[in-house]
């Protein structure tokens, strides 16, 4: 339970479920319909402060301002891609930790890429977040707060967030409870009401968590970051593969498909000369042919701590064509916001480097 507040620190209202908010409001001596009004300000009207909650009596607004917050994170850095379509924000939380959130605007979609942890414990060698190590899990409110920040910004121009991808910093299924509680909040019909199908959870392949996700019959799409089709290759890129090797991941994936009937996505960051060979395409084709799945390829985003390079376009095309021979469908994603280092963890990494060099 996020309250009663520890040491009198204010409660982030975005940490609370509706029943918890009702209780909070009740403890302030207020009738329960006030909770409904506050909920509405939180999730439909994106109030930036308590003063804006004009249908609440002034004393309640003052009580709330004294005992609660509307998310605590502050944007400390903002970057825009040169085409202006991608915005990346570095947020600082109460304890000084920083995380990244990215808004990608398309013609008919506004996608937010959100973080689930400060840092990441999985240590994937090509990933800027993996290179910095793990600091802590984010709270429900800190995850939801990233959505709220951009929802407020888009509301000002009469737009909405249409899609969410949990592909920012951190391993969402390592912080299972808070991440999925935040997702449940975003799809809650009494609040934001974003369709479950619009939120993609990406995982490095935590086998027990994938099984739990399947058992819970979750409707939010799942993407598994495979990146290599043999344990020899994958061990080099993804240390946690030693704990849950490919065969176990595949079993968990088949279990997920069987339980949910949903198509799964495999993520594949194409690294020049590393995992973009015809041999790897063959192995991948053999591994997943006949499965209800799709492969999402993205040329590697170079990072400071890893000397791998993105695959050249001919290799990408050859890889895709080879997969097609196994009946495996795939998409090559264009890298968005490359000029603002939109890869997860890259902004925090840059800001920390600059601070160290001062």
Would you say 185 or 227 has its CB closer to ligand SF4? 227
Query: In angstroms, what is the minimal distance from the CB of 241 to ligand SF4?
Result: 11
Query: In angstroms, what is the minimal distance from the CB of 138 to ligand SAH?
Result: 13
* Interaction partner, residue 167 (ligand SAH, ligand SF4, none; CB < 5-8 Å by kind): ligand SAH
Query: In angstroms, what is the minimal distance from the CB of 72 to ligand SAH?
Result: 23
Would you say 87 or 225 has its CB closer to ligand SAH? 225
* Interaction partner, residue 101 (ligand SAH, ligand SF4, none; CB < 5-8 Å by kind): none
Would you say 170 or 285 has its CB closer to ligand SF4? 170
Would you say 124 or 192 has its CB closer to ligand SF4? 124
Query: In angstroms, what is the minimal distance from the CB of 297 to ligand SAH?
Result: 10
* Interaction partner, residue 343 (ligand SF4, ligand SAH, none; CB < 5-8 Å by kind): ligand SAH
* Interaction partner, residue 207 (ligand SF4, ligand SAH, none; CB < 5-8 Å by kind): none
Active-site residue set: 100, 344
Query: In angstroms, what is the minimal distance from the CB of 345 to ligand SF4?
Result: 7
Q: Which residues bind ligand SF4 (CB under 6 A)?
A: 120, 122-124, 127, 129-130, 170-171, 204, 225, 344
Q: Which residues bind ligand SAH (CB under 6 A)?
A: 126-127, 167, 171, 202-204, 225, 267, 269, 298, 300-301, 303, 343-344
Q: Which residue is nearest to ligand SF4 (CB)?
A: 130
Tell me: cis bond preceding 4? Omega within 30 of 0 counts: yes
* Interaction partner, residue 298 (ligand SF4, ligand SAH, none; CB < 5-8 Å by kind): ligand SAH
């Amino acid at each position: 339970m996020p309250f009663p507040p520890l040491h009198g620190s204010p409660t982030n209202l975005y940490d609370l479920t509706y029943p918890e908010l009702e209780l909070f409001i009740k403890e302030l001596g207020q009738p329960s319909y006030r909770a409904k009004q506050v909920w509405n300000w939180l999730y439909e009207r994106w109030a930036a402060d308590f003063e804006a909650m004009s249908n609440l009596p002034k004393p309640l607004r003052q009580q709330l301002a004294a005992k609660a917050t509307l998310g605590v994170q502050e944007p400390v850095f903002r970057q825009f891609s040169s085409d202006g379509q991608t915005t990346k924000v570095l947020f600082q939380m109460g304890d000084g930790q920083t995380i990244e959130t990215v808004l990608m605007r398309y013609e008919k979609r506004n996608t937010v890429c959100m973080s689930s942890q400060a840092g990441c414990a999985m240590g994937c060698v090509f990933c800027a977040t993996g290179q910095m190590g793990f600091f802590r899990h984010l709270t429900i409110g800190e995850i939801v707060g990233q959505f709220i920040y951009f929802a407020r910004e888009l509301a000002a121009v009469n737009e909405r967030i249409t899609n969410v991808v949990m592909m920012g910093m951190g391993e969402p299924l390592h912080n299972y409870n808070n991440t999925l509680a935040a997702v449940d909040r975003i799809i809650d019909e009494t609040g934001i009401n974003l369709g479950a199908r619009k939120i993609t959870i990406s995982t490095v392949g935590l086998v027990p968590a994938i099984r739990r996700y399947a058992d819970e019959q979750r409707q939010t799409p799942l993407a598994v970051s495979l990146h290599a089709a043999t344990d020899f290759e994958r061990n080099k890129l993804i240390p946690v593969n030693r704990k849950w090797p490919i065969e176990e991941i595949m079993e968990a994936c088949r279990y997920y498909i069987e339980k949910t009937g949903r198509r799964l996505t495999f993520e594949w960051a194409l690294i020049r000369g590393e995992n973009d060979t015809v041999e790897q395409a063959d192995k991948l084709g053999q591994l997943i042919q006949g499965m209800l799945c799709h492969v999402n390829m993205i040329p590697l985003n170079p990072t400071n701590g890893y000397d791998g390079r993105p695959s050249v376009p001919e290799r990408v095309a050859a890889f895709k064509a080879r997969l097609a021979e196994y009946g495996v469908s795939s998409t090559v994603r264009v890298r968005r916001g490359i000029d603002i280092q939109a890869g997860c963890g890259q902004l925090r990494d840059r800001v920390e480097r600059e601070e160290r060099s001062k």
